[in-house]
Amino acid sequence: MRTSTARRVGTALAAAAALTSLAACSGSDGSQGAAGSGKDQAGAVAGTSPVAALKQVRRTTGGAQSAKVDGTMDMGGVMSMKQSGVIGWADGLSGEMTITYTGGTMGEALKQSGGDGTVKARYFQDAYYANMGDGFASTTGGKPWIRYSYQDMAALGGASGDVMKDQLQNSSPEQGVKALLASGDVKKVGQEDVRGVSATRYSGTVDVAELTAKNSDLDAGQLAAFKEQLALAGVTTQTVDIWVDERDLLVKKAERGEMKTGTFTSTLFYSDYGTQVPRQKPPASDTVDFKELVKQGVTPGGAS
């Protein structure tokens, strides 16, 4: 397979990784306990305790089960992108996103290989599908879609692959709320306007490695390896800000952290909670499995 095709296969992996920004790091319920119900919940949200308020936000947002999402992400010189679509989390992850790379080495690789910088993605409990366009299809017998099994990605990606698999299969907007609850550093900033909606802003600092350890099903060896990779990349903590509307639903989330490749930033907006989620998988006749591409000499990093 041509090197340009290999680059595009590797680029699609970044689209899968980008979805973890929809969830942020998973937070732990830990000793937070469950807030009350009915009037007690309303009183907690209206009160001065950020922790009490966010417990209710977590439940309300998590119970909504689906939403429209759009936003941007930048990873230093590696990748900048924008994304929009619909995700659902009623029974594991589902949804459809359009991801456009606007810069960085990943975006350039995609464009140099004949693409327009855009990947259409569909997410399911067991796999992620990427439509790489007509240029890619011309090298795979007319098949524009690549199927990435989360299990295969985990096996190829080592500890970081296991973490991405864990987050992809459990992604939901409430995870950003959980991250703040587990941070021990959450504070209420005040009221701000988010696209014409009055929202309350909360902010905190999250220890990335610690939150992963608290909330994943990874074993001690996998966690140790992942923490080492974070340290090598220069990532230790990140700030998380969320904005919540009067219905206790998350309407915006922003993250910022430092990496060796530069500053990582992500901003996402959530709307239309309860919207219908596309659930149709691409036809098998239009799909090539990532494992088959690997057998042909293509690696996740884009080498052939």
Question: Using CA atoms, how far apart are residues 130 and 150, in angstroms rounded to an integer?
Answer: 13
What are 138's two structure tokens? 């011309």
The continuous run of DSSP H or E covering 147 comes out as strand 145-149
The verdict on residue 301 lying in a domain is no
The verdict on residue 300 lying in a domain is no
Mean per-residue pLDDT of the chain: 77
The verdict on residue 304 lying in a domain is no
CB 87 within 8 A of CB 105: no
Q: Is 277 helix (H, G, I), strand (E, B) or coil?
A: coil
Which residue did the predictor score with more confidence, 278 or 105? 278
Question: Using CA atoms, how far apart are residues 129 and 281, in angstroms rounded to an integer?
Answer: 8
pTM above 0.85, yes or no: no
- The per-residue pLDDT for range 230-263, each reduced to its tens digit, is 776 677 788 889 999 999 999 999 989 888 778 8
What are the Cα distances from residue 6, in Å, to 10, 17, 66? Answer: 6, 17, 34
What are 123's two structure tokens? 């997410």
The verdict on residue 101 lying in a domain is yes
The verdict on residue 113 lying in a domain is yes
- The per-residue pLDDT for range 286-300, each reduced to its tens digit, is 999 988 887 776 544
pLDDT at 27: 33
Which residue did the predictor score with more confidence, 123 or 234? 123
Residue 133 has pLDDT above 50, yes or no: yes
The verdict on residue 302 lying in a domain is no
Considering its fold, how many domains does the chain have in total? Answer: 1
Range of the domain at 200: 3-295
Cα atoms in the Cβ-side hemisphere of radius 13 Å centred on 17: 20
The verdict on residue 195 lying in a domain is yes
- The per-residue pLDDT for range 171-213, each reduced to its tens digit, is 778 777 877 887 778 899 999 999 999 999 999 988 877 777 7
Question: Using CA atoms, how far apart are residues 85 and 164, in angstroms rounded to an integer?
Answer: 20
Which residue did the predictor score with more confidence, 14 or 93? 93
Residues 6+ apart with CB under 8 A from 28: 178, 181, 182, 211, 214, 215
What are 45's two structure tokens? 């949200």
pLDDT band at 163 (very low <50, low <70, confident <90, very high): low
* DSSP one-letter string for 158-196: HHHHHHHHHHHHT--THHHHHHHHHHS--EEEEEEEETT
* CATH number for the domain that contains residue 275: 2.50.20.20
